[in-house]
Amino acid sequence: MQPPSEISNPELTPVEKPNTFWHDVWEIVQTLLLAVILYVAIDAVFARVRVDNISMETTLMPGDLLVVNKLAYKLGTYHTGDVVIFHDPLNTSEDFIKRIIGTPGDTVSIHNGQVAVNGVVLQENYIRETTAYDGDWVVPNDSLFVLGDNRNESSDSHVWGFVPLYDVVGKALFVYWPIGAIQSMANPYK
């Protein structure tokens, strides 16, 4: 009997080992390509936004980082109470974050500190203080009426008018940083 190392089987052929350097390089390239594809796909749907001013206090504070769904209004509808990011109608190179108060066709009235949409007074537990200005607006069919939650310190639709729908970037989903500020941006009227 032959020792095991000397046994040969004519049906078995030796397997060639792949060139490990080029094999490893190819694996790295595949991993990087997959990472780029995933990044582009995620970036097409979600944006990350930093709050830079006080117009949405106390809901959002300067420095808060949040995730925005860029497809929310391409696939769904606008609702009073949604927090949205949009291009500043007066300077489209800047983005603002505000709360939708009036959707296309709505009548918004602000009197004696109360905000009403189509005659229904909103219960606004999220605002910093009672609104100190008055006015009436009818929202055009291609626009939104938005206000900051820090009403009296916010430059918004009561100052510069309506937000064209084509300027809307997306709907705020949640704050993810800082850790102590993590919260959902759930609509208070749904």
Q: Which of 109, 95, 114, 115 is nearest to 139 (CA)?
A: 109
pLDDT single digits (tens) 93-147: 899 999 999 999 999 999 999 999 999 999 999 999 999 999 999 999 999 999 9
At 150 the pLDDT is 96
Taking the C-alpha atoms of residue 114 and residue 125, their distance in angstroms, rounded to an integer, is 12
Distance of CA 86 to the CA centre of its chain: 10
pLDDT single digits (tens) 46-58: 989 999 999 999 8
> What domain range is 161 assigned to?
48-184
Token couple for 168:
């809307």
Structural domain includes residue 148: yes
Q: Which of 139, 108, 112, 113 is nearest to 124 (CA)?
A: 113
At 23 the pLDDT is 82
Residues with active-site annotation? 55, 98
Tracing tokens 């808060």 back to the chain, one arrives at: 64
User: In what helix (H) or strand (E) does residue 61 lie, and over which residues does it extend?
Assistant: none
pLDDT-derived band at 19 (thresholds 50, 70, 90) equals confident
Structural domain includes residue 5: no
Number of folded domains that form the chain:
1
Say which CATH number the domain at 105 has.
Answer: 2.10.109.10
Token couple for 105:
């066709």
Q: How many CB atoms lie within 10 A of CB 101?
A: 25
Structural domain includes residue 42: no
Q: What are the DSSP E strand ranges found in the chain? A: 46-50, 65-69, 83-88, 91-102, 107-111, 114-117, 120-121, 135-138, 143-147, 163-164, 168-177, 183-184
Structural domain includes residue 34: no
Structural domain includes residue 131: yes
